[in-house]
Structure 1
Amino acid sequence: MTTPPEHAEALGRILELVIVVSDDLTRTLSAQGLTDARAHLLWELHHRGPSTQRMLADALRVSPRNITGLVDALVATGYVTREPHPTDRRATLVTFTEHGAATTAAMERDQQVFANILFDGMPDDRLAALMEGLDDVLARLKAHGLTVDATREATDPGTEDGR
């Protein structure tokens, strides 16, 4: 099967974008002493509020053992604490420290700044066309079983990077 040149060019641009965004994210997280998996846990906690490790494991689709390692690392670096659950003596809640809350608030601000860098000044019709095109690409990937969940499941769930 021959690939039309415009398909190869479009894929090349998508891959370039993925690399640029991934490298920037990795650099930013590394400067804060975070891995992708730890940042993902912080982001979930930011949106959910204090949560049990079981809830976080389910949200990140990782094993309880994996979550324990992630939370241990975040406790050791001052991002979160474990607090007694108010109604369940057997459970603990993972809760932000001031440092963790400030970090995720900064992450959210940085995300908004990055969105503005990417899209400010882009005409509405062009942004809408971009969104429609991305929706089409994502739908095609999903139709072929390539989803965020499938790619996460393909990584080793026994490691911290297995998110």
Structure 2
Amino acid sequence: MRRGLRTSRRPAAAGGLDVVLATIASDSHTWNLIFLELLLREWGHRVVNLGPCVPDALLRGECQARRPDLVVISTVNGHGADEGARLARTLRAAPGLGTVPLVIGGKLGTGQEDPLVSARNLVDAGFSAVFGHDNGGMARFRRFVDRVGAGARC
């Protein structure tokens, strides 16, 4: 699922995108963050990995200070659908962060939720795109990152 956000960003320089990477506040997993950091760096992007259990206010402050080209939220604990929606609303309400491409992916629910409903709710809350493990997530994520890097409409 994607939300149409128009960015006024220029295409990324040869050095790639400035990416902020984090988890939701309750997610203490780190292996997913390390994997994504290495992957994004391999694709030529600069990554600031804020680590696990990032409070919403800390992420908002870091994003306002850094003005990243892309914010990536990875979650493994199954609470991404609930906490992610709150996080998206927090970031979207912050000055300067209304149009920054913001994505979430990983294990978004505990299993009882309809993944399509969860994804729609996350987009409605402010995520530009939602990537799950069951919908070709990594290939779709790569295409999304490439479009952001090209300055395309996301």
Structure having the higher Rg: 1
TM normalised by structure 1 equals: 0.27
Task: Answer 1 or 2: which has greater strand percent.
Answer: 2
TM normalised by structure 2 equals: 0.28
Q: Which has the higher contact order (CA 8 A, sep 6+)?
A: 2
